[in-house]
Every structure is written in structure tokens, then in C-alpha cells.
Amino acid sequence: MNLDERIIGMIAQLSAVRRAEIGPTDRLREDLGLDSVCSMELLSMLAEELDVDIALEEAMAVTTVGGAIEMVRQHLGARADAV
């Protein structure tokens, strides 16, 4: 499972929206119903699982599924493809 799939899997788990229906342009709040705490929980789970440090302000600026994937990719750098 690649990084994108892992992230989408976690979003599906938190949002109770089916995995197949989640795409990069989906907005975490408006489209998937994740409130601010839930969105942060997602990013926190990612930070924990992938061992990256993400500042709260940076995480709060993320609004879409694609944005979450991109942010994690940037933090992972070269490690992204190995995850």
C-alpha cells in the first residue's frame, strides 16, 4: 500500500466515508464531515505512524485530502516513496 492509499484509508476510518469515494480534491470538513479536532486527529495519527513532526498551525492550514497527502510528503522528503 503506498502513502496515498494509507492516508486515504485513515481518512475513511475517521470519516466513515467509503474508501473508494474519497479523492484528493475532497474537503476534509465540507465533503467528508471531519470537524477541526477530527482533522487534527488524522494528522496526528499520521505524524505518529510516519514519525514526522508537524506543527499545529501547519496542520490547521490543511483543508483537503490532497493537502494532507502533500504535507506529509514534504515532511517525509526522500523517505516518502519508501513508506
Min dist CB 70 to other proteins, Å, is 15
The reply on whether position 7 binds other proteins by CB under 8 A is: no
Q: Which of residues 24-43 bind other proteins (CB under 8 A)?
A: 26, 31-33, 35-37, 40-41, 43
CB-wise, 3 or 32, nearer to other proteins? 32
Among left, alpha and beta (phi > 0; psi -120 to 50; other), residue 72 is: alpha
Q: Which is nearer to other proteins, 1 or 37 (CB)?
A: 37
Q: Please name the residue that has the C-alpha cell 497527502.
A: 69
